[in-house]
Amino acid sequence: MKLHLANFAHQYIFTGYGDGYVLINQNRYEKSLIVLPDYLIENWPILSVSQLEAQHFQNLLPHKPEIVILGTGAKHQFPDQSLLSQLVKLGIGIEVMDTKACCRTYNILAEEGRRVAAAILIEP
């Protein structure tokens, strides 16, 4: 599915998604990644929710996101509750949803000027 927003010249936004990929600013990504409006972490080494640990979000701390949206692939899957608790202790809100919903939600929050990060799991 393609997503349309007015202008992505100054920030990273999702412009499409499908099985096994996302499009960010019209560029196709087929590996897990983390995206913020002004920063992109490619090739995030996570393939499944069961692999997630708090250390996997350490790269985000310097960017001070107010919320992380975790896109868990085609299905909505919750990570271990201890992971969610650790992120909240760091002052980072977290929402978990399937990747399609994550892309749409991220775009809305980014357009509002929020410090949002989308952590997207892309299954091989």
Q: Minimal CA–CA distance to 72: which of 105, 48, 41?
A: 48
CA angle 60, 62, 68 (to 5 degrees): 30
* Between 25 and 86, residue with greater pLDDT: 25
pLDDT of residue 3 exceeding 70, the answer is no
Q: What is the pLDDT of residues 27-72, one digit of tens each?
A: 999 999 999 999 999 999 998 999 998 888 887 889 999 999 999 9
Please say whether the dihedral angle defined by the alpha carbons of residues 106, 14, 25 and 62, taken in this order, is positive or negative. Answer: positive
Q: Per residue in 45-62, is it b (16+ CB within 10 Å) or e — as a string?
A: ebeebeebeeebbeebee
Mean pLDDT of 88-101: 90
pLDDT of residue 7 exceeding 60, the answer is no
Q: What percent of the chain has pLDDT over 90?
A: 65
- Give pTM, 2 decimals: 0.88
Domains of the chain by start residue, with CATH: 14-120 (3.40.1230.10)
Q: With beta carbons less than 8 A apart as the criterion, state whether 34 and 118 touch.
A: yes
Q: Minimal CA–CA distance to 29: which of 46, 12, 11, 42?
A: 42
